Homo-oligomer: A and B are copies of this chain.
């Protein structure tokens, strides 16, 4: 299980055994069951999570209680309500397990200590953050330029594995269409 994290980091920065031990000492690990919450709207966000196994949804809930999926987090993903985490405010998003899930948890002060103690890891996080930013930008472009069907096909091509693991209802919510419309996209008229 540690190997997952190490391999993940080493895709970007190589680490000695000692360095990885140092990194690992800043994390705690946690197992959660389907339907458990790792972040709850309104509460403080203590950790950023690295997903070792399982699947989660990051959701925003509007005033009417309607739920929107901001992102899915699968193996090897980092997930958090970053705004709440970095600014130490209460969560506006929630993070819930869609399957039994295993994560590493990193508290904000441990994150700072880790970066201060090992420059490489700050570089790693910078790299990760860039990629996350680029990914979000592309999702924005897909909202600007594509219709429901195109967004659906785009997602299907990019993450075929998702379709085995999450309900159409959730996919629809991620794509920003109603589940009825998504359902009709398969067999177009």
Cα–Cα, bound, A82→B132 (Å) = 11
Task: List 18 A–B pairs whose Cβ atoms lie within 8 Å, in order of A's numbering.
Answer: A60-B145, A62-B145, A66-B145, A68-B141, A68-B145, A82-B130, A82-B133, A83-B137, A86-B134, A125-B126, A126-B129, A129-B129, A129-B130, A136-B136, A136-B137, A136-B139, A136-B140, A140-B140
A86 to B137, CA, bound (A): 14
Contact among B122, B134, B139, B145 for A122, CB-based, below 8 A: B122
Tell me the residues in window 139-153 of chain A with beta carbons closer than 8 Å to chain B beta carbons.
Answer: 139-141, 143-145
Q: Give every chain B residue within 8 A of A144 (Cβ-Cβ).
A: 60, 68-70, 173, 176
Chain copies in complex? 2
B residues less than 8 Å from A125 (CB atoms): 126
* A102 → chain B closest CB, angstroms: 25
Q: For the complex, is A33 an interface residue (Cβ under 8 Å from B)?
A: no
